[in-house]
Amino acid sequence: MDDHITDDLPCYGLYINGSWVDAEGGLMPVNEPARGRTMAYVARGSAADVDRAVAAAREAFDRGPWPHTPGHERARILNAIADLIEEHTAEFAELESRNLGAPLRKTTFVDIPWSVEHLRVFAELATIHPYEALPWTDIPSVSWNFVWREPIGVCGQIVPWNYPLLMTIWKIAPALAAGNTVVLKPASYTPLTALMLMRLIHEAGLLPRGVLNIVTGPGAEVGDALARHPGVDKVSFTGSTETGRHIMRLASDTIKRLTLELGGKSPSLVMPDADLELATDGVLFGVFFNGGQSCEAGTRCLVPESLHDEFLERLVTRARSLRIGDPLDLETDLGPLVSEAQCRIVEEYIDVGKHEGARLVTGGKRARIPGFEYGPFIEPTIFTGVQNGTRLAQEEIFGPVLSVIPYRTVTEAIELANASRYGLGAAVWSRDLQGAIEVAKRIRTGTVWINDHHIILPRAPFGGYKQSGIGREHGIYGLMAYTELKHIHVDLMQKRSGRVWWDVLIPQRDQSEEAGL
């Protein structure tokens, strides 16, 4: 807890059962990374606070109206939440930019509009009828059968720090659309836009008490308590693979439903026929968007040996033209990393790359920005001569660091792309679209972009192969992950005769025997 809380900084409590309440652990600071200073204080939640929130969500699910609210009414409420975000776009964008360090251009034109779009898609999906008919059957008797989808129950949702508002929407929209109740844990680094959203929802009176609860606090306390809590029916977590394993272990005691979107080390395959100008900008966008702080970032660039030198020169020239600086400046391309701790991790990986024998061709050090001397800025960094089996090429760095790896044949490129424990995303750069599609089919990742990167559509499934996670988010795929399936069998004969299986178990006796004659 910070001992120097000042009156001029905003303070946020927990949101439990329709009210703002204090946490047992008091408050903790939230920093503005570009300026290296505290910008707000939020409640330091604990396992006891999680108990309160889960109890409220449990009551709202078991006895409240939300699970039984018609789909069209849930859709109206989700659209109303989208309207609130849209009306406050400028405020959300600035707050997100300050809290995360992301460029204002990105938060204004990507994060906020995409949050609105995801809400509107799930509003539409909320109206899908949960009834699914099965074929009529007369075996073993004439019966009517159907599948009924029901909400799972109380959902514990753990949001990462790299896309705070967008990931909050990714979590709550399908859960609420399906009729569940939620306990949300925002990231400790970047909780402010989720709290602002909750304030707007509360003021508008859009949700019944207990349907959406927010508990801020350290992941080791709040996140762990959600994952192990017997009153939580499903956990959705986005974050590192290491933490995902930990969440799985905690959730296993009560056999919770799980959705995990974890780490990545996505390859960008530059094919021999690629448009090099398009591929250059695309590869750099793939790795440096959001400062490299994206699970699906294209951190491994696979280039034909015959194009290596020319393409590397293009990459370096373009990377050096990127503008690093104040995230609130619309001309900024890269802002600071989210924290000093994350900056040190990236610096350690840069040292690892040097020690492994990779050649640093640009970047590799802190950027000193006048007026932002305390900000954790890292220059766009490119290595070549990288071996695909090294730590630099295999471990998730979560910073603006690109490894360039040459290949001889397309088959080798595909093998290199798949030689990773991760399988979240990949990009293929080629003029031959049919050929690129065939390559995409052979890459073992959840998403493959052709001549693009980072386009995660609200109707398209998103998730990973291998150690990049379990399950899919978005669209109908994401909605179904928040439902339970129930088969209902209705016998239409309503009489005993003709029931072969009853005769096996309870054979009909002679009437005289039954009468005792």
The confidence score (pLDDT) of residue 495 equals 73
The confidence score (pLDDT) of residue 8 equals 87
pLDDT of residue 259 exceeding 60, the answer is yes
Contact between 433 and 450 under an 8 Å Cβ cutoff? The reply is: yes
378-388 pLDDT per residue, tens: 999 999 999 99
Contact between 129 and 148 under an 8 Å Cβ cutoff? The reply is: no
pLDDT of residue 496 exceeding 50, the answer is yes
DSSP run (H or E) holding 169: helix 164-177
Q: Give the pLDDT band (50/70/90) at residue 458.
A: very high
Q: Give the pLDDT band (50/70/90) at residue 506.
A: low
The confidence score (pLDDT) of residue 472 equals 97
470-480 pLDDT per residue, tens: 999 999 999 99
Q: What are phi and psi of 266, to 5 degrees?
A: -70, 135
Architecture of domain 14-22+46-262+472-483: 3-Layer(aba) Sandwich (3.40)
Bridge partner residues of 61 (DSSP): none
On the 0-12 / 13-18 / 19+ scale of CB atoms within 10 A, 434 is: exposed
Q: What is the rounded average pLDDT of the residues 414-419?
A: 98
How far the first Cα of the chain sits from its last, in Å, is 87
156-187 pLDDT per residue, tens: 999 999 999 999 999 999 999 999 999 999 99
The confidence score (pLDDT) of residue 254 equals 96
Say what percent of the chain tops pLDDT 70.
Answer: 94
The confidence score (pLDDT) of residue 6 equals 55
Query: How many CB atoms neighbour CB 505 within 10 A?
Result: 7
The confidence score (pLDDT) of residue 1 equals 36
CA 318 – CA 430 distance, rounded (Å) = 20
Name the DSSP letter for residue 67. G
The confidence score (pLDDT) of residue 475 equals 96
pLDDT of residue 239 exceeding 80, the answer is yes
Active site residues: 261
84-132 pLDDT per residue, tens: 999 999 999 999 999 999 999 999 999 999 999 999 999 999 999 888 9
CA 310 – CA 319 distance, rounded (Å) = 14
CATH class of the domain comprising 267-457: alpha beta
Q: Give the pLDDT band (50/70/90) at residue 4.
A: very low
On the 0-12 / 13-18 / 19+ scale of CB atoms within 10 A, 8 is: exposed
Q: Where are the domains of the chain?
A: 14-22+46-262+472-483, 267-457
On the 0-12 / 13-18 / 19+ scale of CB atoms within 10 A, 418 is: middle
pLDDT of residue 502 exceeding 70, the answer is no
48-65 pLDDT per residue, tens: 999 999 999 999 999 999
Alpha carbon 213 to its chain's center: 19
The confidence score (pLDDT) of residue 42 equals 98
Burial 23-39 (b: 16+ CB within 10 A, else e): bebebbbbbbbbbeebb
CA 372 – CA 33 distance, rounded (Å) = 9
CA 156 – CA 14 distance, rounded (Å) = 15
182-212 pLDDT per residue, tens: 999 999 999 999 999 999 999 999 999 999 9
Q: What are phi and psi of 152, to 5 degrees?
A: -70, -45
pLDDT of residue 2 exceeding 50, the answer is no
CA torsion through residues 62, 65, 71, 76, sign = negative
- Secondary-structure breakdown of the chain: helix, strand, coil percentages, each rounded to the nearest 5: 40, 20, 40
pLDDT of residue 225 exceeding 60, the answer is yes
Give me 464's structure tokens: 């990973």
Q: What are phi and psi of 203, to 5 degrees?
A: -65, -30
**Cβ-based neighbours of 249, under 8 Å, separated by 6 or more:** none
Name the DSSP letter for residue 107. I
- Tell me what the pLDDT averaged over the chain comes to: 94
Q: Can you give the C-alpha Rg of the chain in angstroms?
A: 26
Instruction: Could you list the beta-strand ranges (E) of 73-140.
Output: 131-133
Name the DSSP letter for residue 291. G
Name the DSSP letter for residue 129. -
